[in-house]
C-alpha cells in the first residue's frame, strides 16, 4: 500500500526528526514558564498581604526570570504550529477541522490573555493599584496554563480521537462534539499530569537558584525564604502528581494498551501482573518480544501493574503479543488480532475508493436524470462497509507486526527516568524542609538540569509510546507527511538546530547574568 501513496520514507524520517527537535526545544521553556508563574504569584501575594518591599523585590526577581523564559517559549512554539502545515499537510487536511479548533481557541483566548496581562505585570508596578497588579500577575500565569490546556487537548485528541466522524464526501474527519474533544479523559489526565510536572520543575529551579545564593552567602534572607517556598510548593505538587500518575496509567491502559505494554516491556500479559522496577533491556535494539515471555534480569513489585492498569490487584493486563494476536477483554468483548485489523482497514480503504467512484457516477447520472437503482443500492452497501470498518482505517496502511510496536527501550527507560526523577525530587524537598546542609545545596543545583531531563523523558514516553500513529489507529505517521523531498526537510532541520541551539545558549546566558545580579534588595 505504501508505494501507492508515492511517499519518500526518508522525508518521513526527516519530518519526524524536525518536529521532535522543535518540540524538545520548545518543552525546555514551557515547564519553567508554568512553574515560575505560580512562584511569582505567591511572592507577590506576600507583598500584597504584608506591604513589605522585600516581597516586592523578590516577586520582581522571579518575574524577570519568567519573562526571559517566556519570550523564548513563544519563538519555538510558533514554529512548532507552522510545521503542521509545512511537513504534515496530509495530516492537517484530514483532521484540520478538529485539530485546529483547540489551537485556534488557544491563540484567540489564552495567548491574548497572556499578552495583555504580562505587559501590566512588567510595566505596571507604579501605574496600577497593588490589587490590580497582583491580579495581572496571577492572570498571566492563568493564561499560560489555559494555553497549555488547549495545546494538550489537541495532543490528547491525537492519542485518543473522540468527538469526530469521517465524512467520505469531503475526505476529512469532522468534529461532532467539541465537548468530547475538550473534556476527554485523556485530555484531563494529560493536562493535570503535565502542569503538575511543570510545577515540580519550577520548584526545583527555585530551590536550585536559592541554594546557589546560600552557598555564595549572598541575599541570604531572599534565598532562605525562596528556598522554603519552593520546597513546599514542590512537595505539594509532587504529592498530587503521584495521584495523577496512577489515574494516567489507568487511562493509558484503557485507551493505548500497546503504549503501556511498551513502557513495561510486557511481552506476554495476564492477570496478577507485577510492575517492573528495572530489567536488562538492551537500549540499542528492539527486544525479541515474539519469543520471550518477559525481559531478562527483571526486578518487579508483585500485583502493582494490575492495580495501576485496572484498579484491581488481580486485573488482566495485555502484553505486546496479546495485542498483536487478539485477546478477550475483562468485559467479555474480543479485541481483534493485528491481521484482522489490517484486513478490515484495507476493506475500509477499498470501500472508500469504491464509494467515491460510485458517488461521482451518481452525481453525473443525477444530472442526466438516469440514475440506476442498482447503483444506489451498491452505494449504500459500500457506505455501510466503510462505516463498519472505518475505526480500523489506519491499519490498512500497515505492512507487518513490527510496524505497530513502539520502540520498547526508549519507552521503558524514559518512563523509569521520569518516575525515578520524581522520587528524587520528593526526597530533596523533604530534606530541605527538614534540615538542609551544604551538600544538599549542591544537590539542589545539580537537580536543575536533571529536572529538565525528567520532564523531557515524560514526553518521550507519551510520543514514542503511540508510534507508529500520528492519530491513534487512524493515521500512521508515514501517511500524514507532506509530499516533500527529504533534502528540503533535512536542510530546514539543520537550520532549526542552529537557530534553537543559539536561542537556548542566549537564554542560558541571560538567565545566568540575571541570577548573578540577584534581586534588587
pLDDT at position 370 over 50: no
Structure confidence at residue 11 (pLDDT): 83
pLDDT of residue 363: 53
Per-residue confidence (pLDDT) for residue 81, from 0 to 100:
80
The pLDDT value given to residue 469: 93
pLDDT exceeds cutoff 60 at 1? no
Q: Is 487 left (phi over 0), alpha (psi -120 to 50) or beta?
A: alpha
Nine-digit cell at 258? 500497546
Q: 5: pLDDT confidence band, cut at 50, 70 and 90?
A: low
Q: What is the pLDDT of residue 158?
A: 92
pLDDT of 394 strictly over 80: yes
d(CA 180, CA 183): 5
Tens digit of each residue's pLDDT (9 = 90 or more) over 206-225 = 999 999 999 999 999 999 99
Q: How confident is the model at residue 6 (pLDDT cuts 50, 70, 90)?
A: low
Question: What is the residue-averaged pLDDT of the chain?
Answer: 88
d(CA 451, CA 210): 16
Which pLDDT score is estimated for 361? Answer: 59
Tell me: pLDDT of 110 over 80: no
Domains of the chain, residue spans: 10-256+406-517, 263-335, 338-397
**236, 268, 322 from 294: Cα distances, Å:** 36, 7, 13
pLDDT tier at 508 (50, 70, 90 boundaries)?
Answer: very high
Q: Given a cut of 70, is residue 96 above it in pLDDT?
A: yes
Q: Mean pLDDT across the stretch 286-312?
A: 90
> What is the pLDDT at residue 7?
65
Distances (CA, A) of 230 to 140, 217, 221, 475, 516: 19, 19, 14, 43, 19
Amino acid at each position: 500500500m505504501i508505494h501507492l501513496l508515492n511517499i519518500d520514507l526518508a522525508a518521513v524520517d526527516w519530518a519526524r526528526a524536525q518536529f521532535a527537535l522543535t518540540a524538545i526545544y520548545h518543552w525546555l521553556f514551557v515547564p519553567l514558564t508554568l512553574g515560575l508563574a505560580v512562584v511569582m504569584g505567591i511572592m507577590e501575594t506576600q507583598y500584597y498581604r504584608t506591604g513589605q518591599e522585600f516581597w516586592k523585590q523578590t516577586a520582581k526577581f522571579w518575574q524577570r526570570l519568567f519573562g526571559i523564559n517566556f519570550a523564548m517559549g513563544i519563538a519555538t512554539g510558533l514554529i512548532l504550529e507552522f510545521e503542521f502545515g509545512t511537513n504534515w499537510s496530509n495530516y492537517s487536511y484530514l483532521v484540520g477541522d478538529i485539530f485546529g479548533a483547540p489551537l485556534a481557541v488557544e491563540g484567540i483566548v489564552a495567548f491574548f490573555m497572556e499578552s495583555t496581562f504580562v505587559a501590566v505585570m512588567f510595566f505596571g508596578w507604579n501605574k496600577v493599584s497593588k490589587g490590580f497588579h497582583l491580579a495581572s500577575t496571577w492572570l498571566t500565569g492563568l493564561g499560560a496554563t489555559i494555553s497549555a490546556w488547549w495545546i494538550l487537548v489537541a495532543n490528547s485528541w491525537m492519542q485518543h480521537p473522540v468527538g469526530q466522524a469521517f465524512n467520505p464526501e469531503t475526505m476529512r474527519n469532522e468534529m461532532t462534539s467539541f465537548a468530547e474533544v475538550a473534556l476527554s479523559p485523556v485530555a484531563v489526565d494529560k493536562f493535570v499530569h503535565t502542569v503538575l510536572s511543570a510545577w515540580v520543575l519550577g520548584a526545583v529551579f527555585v530551590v536550585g537558584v536559592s541554594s546557589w545564593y546560600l552557598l555564595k552567602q549572598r541575599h541570604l534572607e531572599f534565598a532562605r525564604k525562596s528556598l522554603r517556598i519552593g520546597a513546599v510548593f514542590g512537595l505539594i505538587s509532587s504529592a498530587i502528581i503521584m495521584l495523577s500518575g496512577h489515574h494516567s496509567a489507568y487511562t493509558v491502559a484503557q485507551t493505548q494498551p500497546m503504549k503501556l505494554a511498551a513502557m513495561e516491556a510486557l511481552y506476554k500479559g495476564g492477570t496478577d501482573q507485577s510492575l517492573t522496577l528495572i530489567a536488562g533491556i538492551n537500549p540499542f535494539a528492539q527486544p525479541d518480544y515474539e519469543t520471550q515471555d518477559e525481559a531478562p534480569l527483571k526486578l518487579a513489585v508483585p500485583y502493582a501493574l494490575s492495580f495501576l492498569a485496572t484498579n484491581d490487584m488481580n486485573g488482566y493486563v495485555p502484553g505486546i503479543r496479546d495485542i498483536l494476536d487478539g485477546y478477550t477483554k475483562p468485559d467479555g468483548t474480543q479485541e481483534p488480532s493485528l491481521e484482522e485489523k489490517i484486513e478490515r482497514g484495507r476493506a475500509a480503504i477499498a470501500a472508500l475508493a469504491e464509494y467515491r467512484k460510485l458517488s461521482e457516477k451518481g452525481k453525473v447520472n443525477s444530472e442526466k436524470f438516469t440514475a440506476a437503482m442498482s447503483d444506489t443500492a451498491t452505494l449504500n452497501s459500500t457506505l455501510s462497509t466503510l462505516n463498519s470498518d472505518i475505526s480500523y482505517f489506519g491499519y490498512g496502511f500497515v505492512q507487518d507486526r513490527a510496524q505497530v510496536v513502539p520502540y520498547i527501550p526508549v519507552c521503558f527507560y524514559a518512563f523509569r527516568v521520569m518516575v525515578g526523577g520524581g522520587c528524587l525530587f520528593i526526597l530533596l524537598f523533604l530534606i530541605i524542609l527538614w534540615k538542609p546542609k551544604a551538600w544538599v545545596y549542591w544537590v539542589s543545583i545539580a537537580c536543575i538540569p536533571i529536572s529538565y531531563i525528567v520532564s523531557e523523558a515524560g514526553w518521550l514516553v507519551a510520543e514514542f509510546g503511540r508510534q507508529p500513529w500520528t492519530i491513534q489507529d487512524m493515521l500512521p505517521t508515514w501517511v500524514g507527511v507532506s509530499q516533500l523531498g527529504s533534502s528540503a526537510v533535512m536542510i530546514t532541520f539543520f537550520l532549526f538546530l542552529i537557530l534553537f541551539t543559539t536561542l537556548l545558549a542566549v537564554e542560558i546566558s541571560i538567565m545566568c547574568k540575571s541570577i548573578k545580579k540577584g534581586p534588587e534588595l
